[in-house]
Structure 1
Amino acid sequence: MPHVLDRWSRSFWRLAGRAVDLDGADSWLDAPVSATARVGGGWLDVEAAARGWTLDRGGPEAGLLPSMAALDGPGFDSAQLRPAIRDFYEHTAAWDMEVWSSWSPVVWPAGELVARLYARRVEQLALPMRPLDVAHGMDSQVTVVRDGAGEQVAAAWVRTLRSNGRHVFSGSYATRTLPRADRPSIHVTFPLESGNVQVFLRPSVTKDGGLRLESPCGGFGQDGAYVVVREGRDVAARVPLHETFHVYVDGRGVLRTDHELRVGRLSAVRLHYRLERAS
């Protein structure tokens, strides 16, 4: 039986969202969901069976994208990216990750409440609340998802805390072109029971060959964050969560990422990643 908080949450989004046709005009929001309240990595086998996917697990060179060129289009040329950045996205499993986190004091109490009541229980979107939570680093597993023709259509990236094995994020990564967009965005889906959270990130190349990914403010059907509920009638709502990733190579040749999550105009949490190719 669904947890009372989960039932309340889905009821809220059914009221706040709009009806969508995920098999028709709104198919750009069709994405994996979890069949159970505890998400972890269990959603992947269920979705693979339902969608006719095959899974390549544990490949040492598996990447979130088969090629960064999949994002090419007006205003974005992946050939301008630093080689290390391309390598990370195309061979993500070969990279180790260290993480640091810093929360806004204003937002931290609400974040801690959500983490305790929801994120840790469902093992999804469990952002580290304290710097020491990630002191021992994160482990990650990338599973390549292929269609019937053997082409990579997505990748599942599951990240856990090395100190206790607790799931932090479990997501599906792919490229998708929004209805009125002139080029693809990175499409990230975090499955939840009978729904999901989706983020569409618009890529750009910085002057020094870095990568910038943004989910900006905008209207329905544009880059940004969405909540989708697939229980009864399908509904979706755009939410005021905005993310920015800046992936770059520092002066010592180290690959790093600055990640900021904002609620409206308020900066909620900043994460910093140090990325190193495994020996």
Structure 2
Amino acid sequence: MKESSQVMTFWTVGCLNVLLFLVIIIFSAHAPYFLMLTAAQLLYVPFTLHVIMNKDKSWIATYLPSLSIPVFLAVFLLHITDQTALDTLLATLYFVFTILIALYGITRFLKRGFVHFEEFIIDMGFFYIMIGGAWFLAYEANIDTGFSTILTWLTSIHFHYASFLLLVFVGLLGRLHKSSIYIWISWMVIIAPILVAAGISYSPVLELVSVLVYIIGIYGFIVLSFKVTFQHTMQKFFVRISFCSLGLTILFSLLYTVSHWARAFEVTIDFMLYSHGVMNTVLFALMGLAGWSMNVPSANPKIPTFPVSRIRGNGAVGEKVLTGKMDGNVYNGLVDDMRHFEPGIDTQTLSPAIIDFYENTNDYRLFAEVKWHTWFKPFAGVYRLISRYVKQINLPLSRKQVEMTGDIFSVNDALDGRYYTRAWVRKIKEDVTFVALYSSHQEEDRTYMNISLPLPFSAMTGVLELNQSGDELILTSESQHRKSGPGIYLAVKHHLFKLPMHERFHVKEGEKGTLQAHHRMTMFHLPFLTIDYHIYEKEHINKGN
């Protein structure tokens, strides 16, 4: 049976809304500048949703266009009538609609996690429009927000343009160009709306800082827009004009903020409405949407397909998670043969001591120095209370060197779902520190280490790429060769969610019979945990004694 075609699309809805918008222009009972928010609600929102949802077959993308029709009729009625008893109800319809948009963004995110950062930015835009909808409801319902009526309305328009539209445009740009600079300036425009809100509420200085953050981010995207190769000349022209116009209007915002902070001159709201507002409505939004609609960059559909361990913990993990899951095989090391990871490494030039450690791990003793970074210590303290019970990733708060004793057990592959799986159980004294299930998998021409840490009703999986520097070994979740695949993931049931975390091991040979390993973990590219290992061959220690 053929799939039924979608009855309504946001493109159709947007075209119908053009007629409503023209009627509003003629018969509106409100001041002309109110058309800026109306244009966003009736035109830019549906056409932008069409750009992202057009090929999506999810239930929200399928039915939301039809559900939006009464919503846009409600917006239409609000603008052609004076205040009525129904205003709050009509505005509530629009707010609920923005909640559904945010829900769509959340469902997109949960299917993928941080595996494609540019899509996460679009999801954040969908989330922010819900905040714009809330401020619109507050304005129409005369809810006391602590601000004047006009500032409440301006806050709604801010979240429609500077949050929703900007982040969607930035995400589309990221589909064409994604670099480390792109990621950093994207975070700036993600956090800037919150900084603006906090600055307006609490501190003119913070408001100034938020505008400066916006400026750095926006001008960064202007530069990137000139580095991107577009397929159509007109698209290139429109997109670049869109970002450049925003670079100009943000300077008006800077003048407005400085005028309130320094009080040396005055920039009025009226000036902002008819300069900053009109330029954003026409040049930024209209030109940008027209440009991206000409040829929508395709989303990267590739999602990780590597094997994931099926072993999960209950309330606690510890050694009990292995009960009934071990078999009769015997493994002495984390891997059987390091040549399995060639050509990523060259076992002819890699340190023989490193090779021996991974192939004969039971023959070594580990001493660790754990360092929680300062900004993360409060979270580490809370987590420590939990990890003592869970008995997984149960690391001390002290930096004092401790010995981690360990044993390797063979795990039943049929129960785990991967091949040649073995569990490395590490303890500090009698307390379980790690229960890590080691395996590997191959993608294209590379073999990756596949390490699963069972958690309560879930598992955290680290997919590490092996590289070599001289005779030293680098294991990292940040691939130098692939945009997806390596990383740290959270597996819940059949869902795989990429976390905003990375880890890197740097293993090198010290004195004869000794190794040093530096383990660094980051979250949102900020280091939060470092572990320095000193690894000794048991025979070497015995000789020393």
Fold conserved between structures, TM > 0.5: yes
> How far apart are 1:203 and its partner, in Å?
0.5
Q: Does 1:258 align with 2:524?
A: no
2:392: which partner in 1?
Answer: 124
Q: Does 1:241 align with 2:501?
A: yes
1:215: which partner in 2?
Answer: 477
Question: Superposition pairs for residues 1-279 of structure 1, below 5 Å?
Answer: 17-18=110-111, 28-48=306-326, 54-56=327-329, 62-73=332-343, 75-116=344-385, 118-132=386-400, 135-145=401-411, 153-162=420-429, 165-178=430-443, 181-207=444-470, 209-216=471-478, 221-230=484-493, 234-250=494-510, 254-279=514-539
1: distance between equivalents of 2:311 and 2:413? 18
Closer, same or farther in 2 for the Cα pair 1:220/1:111, shift >3 Å?
farther
> How far apart are 1:42 and its partner, in Å?
1.9
Closer, same or farther in 2 for the Cα pair 1:101/1:31, shift >3 Å?
same
Figure out how many residues of one structure are paired with residues of the other and give that number: 241
What SS is found at the alignment partner of 1:225?
strand
Which digits, 9 at most, give the CA deviation of each residue in 1:136-167, with x for residues without a partner? 4111111134658xxx70210001112xx111
Report if aligned partners of 1:255, 1:274 keep a CA contact under 8 Å in 2. yes
Closer, same or farther in 2 for the Cα pair 1:32/1:44, shift >3 Å?
farther
1:274 partner amino acid: H
What SS is found at the alignment partner of 2:375?
coil
| TM-score of the aligned structures, taking structure 1 as reference length | 0.77
2: distance between equivalents of 1:14 and 1:94? 47
Which of the pair is proportionally richer in strand? 1
Which digits, 9 at most, give the CA deviation of each residue in 1:117-137, with x for residues without a partner? x322211112222123xx441
1: distance between equivalents of 2:513 and 2:361? 18
1: distance between equivalents of 2:501 and 2:479? 8
What SS is found at the alignment partner of 1:77?
coil
2: distance between equivalents of 1:172 and 1:86? 19
> How far apart are 1:252 and its partner, in Å?
6.0
> How far apart are 1:110 and its partner, in Å?
1.1
2: distance between equivalents of 1:14 and 1:40? 32
2: distance between equivalents of 1:35 and 1:210? 35
Closer, same or farther in 2 for the Cα pair 1:79/1:273, shift >3 Å?
same
Which digits, 9 at most, give the CA deviation of each residue in 1:44-78, with x for residues without a partner? 23444xxxxx2446x6xx100011111113x4223
2: distance between equivalents of 1:277 and 1:253? 6
Q: CA RMSD in A?
A: 2.8
Report if aligned partners of 1:63, 1:92 keep a CA contact under 8 Å in 2. yes
Closer, same or farther in 2 for the Cα pair 1:177/1:77, shift >3 Å?
same
1: distance between equivalents of 2:110 and 2:387? 21
What SS is found at the alignment partner of 1:28?
coil
1: distance between equivalents of 2:529 and 2:308? 28
2:472 partner amino acid: G
> How far apart are 1:189 and its partner, in Å?
0.2
| TM-score of the aligned structures, taking structure 2 as reference length | 0.41
Which digits, 9 at most, give the CA deviation of each residue in 1:158-216, with x for residues without a partner? 01112xx11111010111124xx430111110012322000011111111x11001111
Report if aligned partners of 1:160, 1:167 keep a CA contact under 8 Å in 2. yes
Which of the pair is proportionally richer in helix? 2
1: distance between equivalents of 2:402 and 2:395? 15
Report if aligned partners of 1:14, 1:235 keep a CA contact under 8 Å in 2. no
What SS is found at the alignment partner of 2:306?
helix
